A and B are shown apart, each in its own frame.
Chain A
Amino acid sequence: MARRLKLLCEKTMKEVMTAYYTEAFTSDRPKAWVTSGAPVELLLAAGVIPIFPENYGAMIGAQHMGGDLCAAAGDMGFDDCVCSYARSTIASTARGEGPLGALPAPDLLLACNNGCGTMFKWYEVLSRRFGIPLLFFDTPYCAGEPTPQDRAYLVRQLERILSELGDILGREVDRDRLWETLQVSSETAKLWTQIQDLRRARPSPLNSPDMFVHMALIVTLRGTQTAYDYYRDMLAQVRERVERGEGAVEDEKYRLLWDHIPPWYALRDLFDFCADLGACFAVDTYTNVWQGEFDMARPLESMADCYQMIMPNLRLPLRAAMYVDYIRDYEIDGFVIHSNHSCKSYCLGEYEIARRITAETGVRGVILEADMVDPKFYSESQVKQMMQAFLESLD
């Protein structure tokens, strides 16, 4: 059986997330549903409670409720080609079902398309169903350094969102509080990056499924002292683990890269299966997305840059180069790409990225067909057979 080395902070994680959801469900403060790549700092500075349906989609998947809820979304007219985070959470709201029932109804919405265009379509549906305003941050696809017109467009949008947010709340967003929030967010992202860097150690102190759990706060609460404190403690604990030479996987034999969101319903089952075969996912592309550090000398411009230049919003050559760097920096033996049925933005280009990685590094990979929440597209036996054969081929 694969061992699971728990960090002390995991207990804190449960407490923090319980407190977060308790407040979200019970507080009278205004609530916003927000996409994971949106500038949540604006909401925090405005005293709005941010709620992340994508996180909830992951919870739905992990608790094996995705099949039923995605089928229910199908009954509502939403096809299988629609993002399963969207399908499962729309159905959760309509039916009042989910790990915690339906999420608390929002007062407003904030979406950004830096992860995918899906986000604004999903939030348009929410806006119409709830009859509430949608604030949208449009981030042009990025070929490298932002162009002057990109930056001007993005900054003007941030100003507009701040203004509209003030109108909705009936009070202006306090700029000083926003700068403080950005500072904390930036410091928290720095800690998260340092934790990611420690995964280069041999054996790797953290396996990707650990990161998929620990990422909850960098997504949900970045910009808060709570998240900062959590990652400060986590960093210290991971450092100690590295100093002790303790690996996340016993007898680490293969060091792998995981690409994309995991199939949440198979999180432990699939990764434990791999760990039993000696495979540790020492790096993954997904949890590395939340790394924006802001330049407080030019906060809005810096926000514009950071939110535009996250990995899924970068052109393929840049993304491929990032993957190649991961392969080299983390001394990776093989890569596993999740071709995620309901996520075209992140997936389209994976075949070419795989070829480029192999051409540049000699490292080979395997592509698994599945979906992040909807288990209908996942064949456990086929995936495990493929993983076993792939790992054997690395010997």
Chain B
Amino acid sequence: MEQTEAWEKMMDTVRDPHPALRERRDAGEKVVGYFCSYVPVELIHAAGAVPVRMLQGPAPGDVAGAYMQPFCCSFARSLLEGLGNGTYDYLSAVVMPHTCDTIRNLSDLVETAAPGLRVMRLMVPTTVHTPEAVDFMVEELAALRPDLEGVTGNEAGGADLRESIRLYNRCRSALDGLREAGPGNRRLYAAYLALQLTGPEEFLDMMGRVEAGGTEAGTRRVAVIGGPVPQLEVFDLLEEYGMRVVWDDLCTASRFAAGMVAEDGEPLRALAERYLGRCPCPTKLDPANRREQELIAGIGESGAEGVVFAQQAFCEFHSFDYPGLKERLDAEGIPSVRLDLEHPFQPTGQMRTRLQALSEILGEGM
């Protein structure tokens, strides 16, 4: 397959994952949606279902408007819209974890807006660094497992779960390798998203067909920090201003792929330890301020010269963190700008002005 064609296939998976997933449903496979990077995909996969991250929903419309206030983020509004209007009609179930207040409450609204869809709750603890939190997560995973098995009719324990753990670890390694090779913003972030929008086997197959290097663009090295950024257009926009993303803390990219699950030991505990052990997302308690420390360390290691905050508009959790992180970056002399994302993504004049300013600052320093 031609390189362009192989990459285009991956881009298609990201742009519109729904037709392929519908085909798989029609072929008898079970597709299970999940809402955030704290849901162990390995468990869904081990049960024999295709784990698909809830991304790429339609523009919020009548369904979202009937259930959610306009001051809720358009990311969540878009997903409810999609669940209510049939965009995700291929799903057999969704796993909804406790993350922010919006997603927590959304779990109840999904049951009403999408009647017939099985909603499974995963009470991911807000505290992630204590032994009791890990034990609680293990218990929650143990409670989720039979629910998933009920959807597929397959057992999700023992050898199957270990195999799923190994498979996803390989996917994460492949993503690490791709980042090292520097394929450019669009290709790198398409690969992260592709893993979340299809099964690990299909992802590894796609990764086997693409070549990693060659298209690196942009001379201004930036780190991007935020929540879910499922739109490749955001990364295109950065590239338009000469920015190459060399490090990120995004839950649809590095935070999703960070850290391996131990392949020995008790699988559920290994999953709990990996998922809770990552640098916490803003919806989790972070008493040691790891997020700030890892941002500064990541900037140092990657050679990023500036930071782009890419967070969902109306996201209270990221908004609480922003002033402290910005203050620290200012103190370190690292320039930053903030983009408040709406779904569907439209680059606004304000975003362009901010990126232009950052680009000029970084250009001056070169």
- Do A and B bind? yes
A interface list, Cβ under 8 A from B: 76-79, 81-83, 86, 113, 116-118, 120-122, 124-125, 127-128, 134, 136, 138, 140-141, 143, 147, 149-150, 152-153, 156-157, 160, 315-317, 339, 341-342, 344-345, 347-352
Q: Would you list 30 pairs from A and B whose C-beta atoms are within 8 A, ordered by A residue?
A: A77-B322, A77-B327, A79-B316, A117-B104, A118-B320, A121-B320, A124-B286, A125-B323, A128-B324, A134-B287, A136-B285, A138-B127, A138-B285, A149-B140, A150-B123, A157-B130, A315-B107, A317-B108, A344-B69, A344-B100, A344-B101, A344-B105, A344-B316, A345-B101, A347-B69, A348-B101, A349-B109, A350-B69, A351-B66, A352-B112
B interface list, Cβ under 8 A from A: 66-69, 71-72, 98, 100-102, 104-109, 112, 121, 123, 125-127, 130, 132-133, 135-136, 139-140, 143, 282-283, 285-287, 289, 313-317, 319-324, 326-327
Q: How far is the CB of B76 from chain A (nearest CB, A)?
A: 9
Residues of A within 8 A of B104 (CB): 117, 141, 345
Residues of A within 8 A of B316 (CB): 79, 81-83, 118, 121, 342, 344
Residues of A within 8 A of B98 (CB): 140-141
Residues of B within 8 A of A120 (CB): 126, 285
Known: A77-B327, A136-B127. 4 other contacts (CB 8 A): A124-B320, A136-B285, A138-B126, A147-B143
Residues of B within 8 A of A156 (CB): 132, 135
Residues of B within 8 A of A344 (CB): 69, 71-72, 100-102, 105, 316
Residues of B within 8 A of A116 (CB): 101
Q: Which 9 pairs of residues, A with B, have the shortest CB-CB distance? A: A77-B323, A316-B108, A149-B139, A121-B320, A345-B101, A348-B105, A156-B132, A153-B136, A79-B319
Pick from A83, A152, A153, A351 the residue with the most CB of B within 10 Å.
A153
Interface of chain B, helix or strand or loop or mixed?
A: helix
Q: Which of B108, B285, B287, B313 contacts A315 (CB 8 A)?
A: B108
Nearest A residue to B315 via CB reads A81
Residues of B within 8 A of A78 (CB): 319-320, 323
Nearest B residue to A149 via CB reads B139
Q: How far is the CB of A136 from chain B (nearest CB, A)?
A: 6
Q: How far is the CB of A52 from chain B (nearest CB, A)?
A: 19
Q: How far is the CB of A297 from chain B (nearest CB, A)?
A: 23
In the bound complex, what is the Cα–Cα distance between A313 and B68 (angstroms)? 18
Q: Which of A81, A83, A127, A348 contacts B68 (CB 8 A)?
A: A348
In the bound complex, what is the Cα–Cα distance between A211 and B139 (angstroms)? 41
Residues of B within 8 A of A117 (CB): 100-101, 104, 126, 283, 317
Q: Which of A121, A152, A316, A317 contacts B105 (CB 8 A)?
A: A316
Residues of A within 8 A of B319 (CB): 78-79, 81-82
- CB atoms of A125 and B123 under 8 A apart: no
Q: How far is the CB of B152 from chain A (nearest CB, A)?
A: 23
In the bound complex, what is the Cα–Cα distance between A154 and B125 (angstroms)? 11
